[in-house]
Chain A
Amino acid sequence: MTRMTMIEAVRSAMDVSMGRDDNVVVFGEDVGYFGGVFRATQGLQAKYGKTRCFDAPISESGIVGTAIGMAAYGLRPCVEIQFADYMYPAYDQITQEAARIRYRSNGDFTCPIVLRMPTGGGIFGGQTHSQSPEALFTHVCGLKVVVPSNPHDAKGLLISAIEDPDPVMFLEPKRLYNGPFDGHHDRPVTSWAKHELGEVPDEHYTIPIGKAAVRRAGAGVTVIAYGTMVHVALAAAQETGVDAEVIDLRSLLPLDLETITRSVAKTGRCVMVHEATLTSGFGAEVVSLVQEHCFYHLEAPIVRVAGWDTPYPHAQEWDYFPGPARVGRALIDVMEA
């Protein structure tokens, strides 16, 4: 066991995977010699050589397109899109190619690739360094979508993603890279060193894709979140005193419906929280499933707390980001409904 930040855990996952399987290759913009703009690949090129970890031209469709070809050959590329906000040039390759190669070729060809991409706001990233585009992936059949909220999960889930036989979109909340963040931007930054989920095994381990984790048991209301919002939800529960059960989805696709329905059947109330914009966001899918599967258990309308339906602003960061105050208000409202 070692205390790791999320960046170190992500790096450790790639290190362990590259050590175990010669077919794992890592590349992307600034990923090789420099070790990545977030240091996620630091040291990998020195350790595994330039043909296993290398720099790529600034071309997202080129990075994803070549990764797909490599996967068709038999490699297991784990590539980086520098910011999730910049995945759009590769969207054609992701949705029409990576996601469908197994289906359209009836398994003749497959696409075991991982696209790592820093995601989310809370860092004054403005419009193109803060987006949460997960709903653009969860709507695509054939993809898997994973969002870790802590170093321990990040490593176990990334190893699972690399070993998965299908394409996995691995969204890393960059606000959580160096420490947990509960939305209290006015308080000192905390580090993963003091958090129990900052304790990470050095060796190989996996966390299954498609399984949620209950971060706080409660009987009053089920709060469904992922990524940074898990920490915001936990803070909101503590500050309001509402007996919330906080579920960290970890995987959005496939979704752990069983853990969700079991909880809502118990609590009878549900709040869905995400940073991404509200309309047609992933929360809409969760809310729809909850009402479909838990209708007779519900004692209040399901509430969503999300980013506003605007591009992510710069100066108005904390009015946009759904912090503990907004989430807390929703918890109280749903308890009083």
Chain B
Amino acid sequence: MTETTRLSLHVPEPAVRPGDQPDFSNVKLQRAGAVPRPEVDAAPETIRDLAYSIIRVLNQKGEAVGPWSGLLSDEELLTGLKNMMRLRAFDARMLMAQRQGKTSFYMQHLGEEAVSCAFRKALSKGDMNFPTYRQAGLLIADDYPLLTMMNQIFSNEHDPLHGRQLPVLYSSKEHGFFTVSGNLATQYVQAVGWAMASAIKGDTKIAAAWIGDGSTAESDFHSALVFASTYKAPVILNIVNNQWAISTFQGIARGGSGTFAARGLGFGIPALRVDGNDYLAVYAVARWAAERARRNLGPTLIEYVTYRVGAHSTSDDPSAYRPKTESEVWPLGDPVLRLKKHLVLRDVWSEERHRQAEAEIMDEVIDAQREAESHGTLHAGGKPPTKDMFEGVYAEMPPHLRRQREKAGY
């Protein structure tokens, strides 16, 4: 006899809501240095545990420990710190610019700076990222001009995208940054195709796909994993788990799967899970995956465990769905402060130099902003020519568009 009962629908809920005490007791943390570092040609089935652990290098004291440490020089780490600080300062100024009406929209990276800044350093010139809207650190760490980013945000006369795109949806082939789309997850499978193309041509370049925790629920995430697995494409499949998809907690997309990284296992794709707020760990894991791809060993899936400290966008108010102080108790801390602590401990950095660098970086950002604004903002000053609205739909303008452009008076 089978027992039956009235069925009920399970709808996951975050542990806490506004007004509750923030609680991250469900985040299981390994000590820094505790997770082993396998060989890059390890068979996926032998490293399944890595999809359920969190690879960490920096410990509580700020020391770099364990098998994933020792890859970056002091100089490289100082550059990394400054890039993260640059991204944070940039965010702060652009958020303010949006509040002042100089642009319609902005999206911050607050708390997630290590992920894109450190990852970029594991790639080589010619590799291609297929980013989401929250990886501007890939550009900043590749020395893409802040001024050009701001011109795009302000849709001004020097906007490289000629005012056609929403702010932050940058594009730079030269800097290995594929044109960002508003449609979630679409670029994840495109990255796999780019990597397949590199393999078809016998090239040495690799691709990196990016997606957030929420968007892993999109069908293109699944398509990407199938194709990457089938063709052993030289691609790094990145999932940035910042716990939140606008107002939706990550449990809604993750369901009962344990971790996002674990999704790779079913496709035979080696999967790693890493402390996304640990610059050294992010770099180490990215380099491991890049080496696998370059040695034609196929794709790697990486889940970066981090926390979206800021609002989803300038159109969002997180206090409506999560405790205001939640980010303060996030167990993985702040990526900038953690790297700073490490560098101070190593005696190559100090409080004083940090404050000085903050001031210098803010000056740099303000200078760029001043110049960008001299070329116009969304509602004032220089603009891309309206006539240009009709250009670039096709390589060559077809007759019907020419007629419309004439009718519009251009």
A127 CB to nearest B CB, Å: 22
**Residue in B closest to A70 when the chains form the complex, CB atoms:** B197
- A75, B398: Cβ atoms under 8 Å? no
Whole-angstrom CA separation of A104 from B191 in the bound complex: 18
**Are B223 and A105 in contact (CB-based, < 8 A)?**
no
Q: Which residues of B contact A56 (CB under 8 A)?
A: 227
Chain B neighbourhood of A142, CB < 8 A? 393-394
User: Who on chain B is nearest to A64 by CB?
Assistant: B189
Do A104 and B219 have beta carbons less than 8 Å apart? no
A69 pairs with B130, CB closer than 8 A:
yes
From known contacts A69-B197, A73-B128, A110-B395, infer whether A103 and B164 are also in contact, taking CB-CB under 8 Å. yes
Q: Is the CB of A107 within 8 A of B190?
A: no
Is the Cβ of A66 less than 8 Å from the Cβ of B164?
no
- The stretch among A91-99, A191-199, A237-245 that forms the contact with chain B is A91-99
Q: Take A59-B223, A67-B193, A73-B128 as given contacts and tell me if A102 and B393 are in contact as well, using a CB distance cutoff of 8 Å.
A: yes
Per-residue CB proximity of B181-208 to A under 8 Å, as 1/0? Answer: 1110010111111111111110000010
A161, B193: Cα distance in complex, Å: 20
**B53 on the A face (CB < 8 A):** no
Minimum C-beta distance from B17 to chain A (A) = 33
Q: Is A72 a contact partner of B128 (Cβ separation < 8 A)? A: yes
Instruction: Check: A166 CB closer than 8 A to any chain B CB.
Output: yes
Interfacial chain A residues near B171, Cβ < 8 Å: 104-106, 108-109
How many interface contacts (CB-CB < 8 Å) are there between A and B?
Answer: 145
Given known contacts A68-B190, A102-B394, A104-B161, A62 and B183 CB-to-CB distance under 8 angstroms:
no
A190 interfacial by beta-carbon distance below 8 Å: no
Q: Which of A59, A62, A69, A107 contacts B392 (CB 8 A)?
A: A107
Q: B164 touching A104 by the CB < 8 A rule?
A: yes
**Size category of the binding interface on chain B:** 35 or more
Bound-state Cα–Cα, A60 to B218, Å: 14
Q: How far is the CB of A159 from chain B (nearest CB, A)?
A: 17
Known contacts A62-B189, A89-B219, A102-B392, A109 near B194 by CB under 8 Å: no
CA distance in complex: A102, B130 (Å): 15
* Cα A114 to Cα B398 with chains together (Å): 18
Q: Say whether A101 faces chain B, with CB atoms less than 8 Å apart.
A: yes
Contact A66–B227 (Cβ < 8 Å) = yes
Residue of B nearest to A23 (CB): B201
CA gap between A59 and B196 in the complex, in Å: 16
Contact partner, A105, options B128, B179, B194, B220, Cβ 8 Å: B179
Give CA–CA (A257, B399) in the complex, Å.
9
Interface size on A, residues (CB 8 A): 47
* Cβ of A165 under 8 Å from chain B: yes
Minimal beta-carbon separation of B198 from chain A (angstroms): 6
Minimum CB distance partner of A251 in chain B: B398
Q: For the complex, what is the distance from the CA of A5 to the CA of B162, rounded to whole Å?
A: 47
Q: Identify the 7 closest CB pairs spanning chains A and B, nearest first.
A: A69-B193, A66-B193, A65-B189, A62-B223, A69-B190, A105-B179, A73-B197
- Sample of 20 more A-B contacts, CB < 8 Å, known A73-B128, A93-B186, A100-B181: A57-B230, A65-B192, A69-B194, A70-B200, A71-B193, A75-B201, A93-B220, A96-B182, A97-B181, A103-B392, A104-B169, A104-B181, A106-B164, A106-B171, A106-B392, A107-B392, A166-B394, A253-B398, A254-B398, A254-B400
Binding site for A on B (CB under 8 A): 128, 130, 160-162, 164-165, 169, 171-173, 178-179, 181-183, 186, 188-201, 207, 219-220, 223-224, 226-227, 230, 392-395, 398-400
Show 13 residue pairs from A and B whose CB-CB distance is below 8 angstroms, ordered by the A residue.
A57-B223, A57-B227, A61-B219, A65-B186, A65-B193, A65-B223, A65-B227, A66-B192, A70-B194, A102-B392, A104-B179, A108-B160, A108-B173
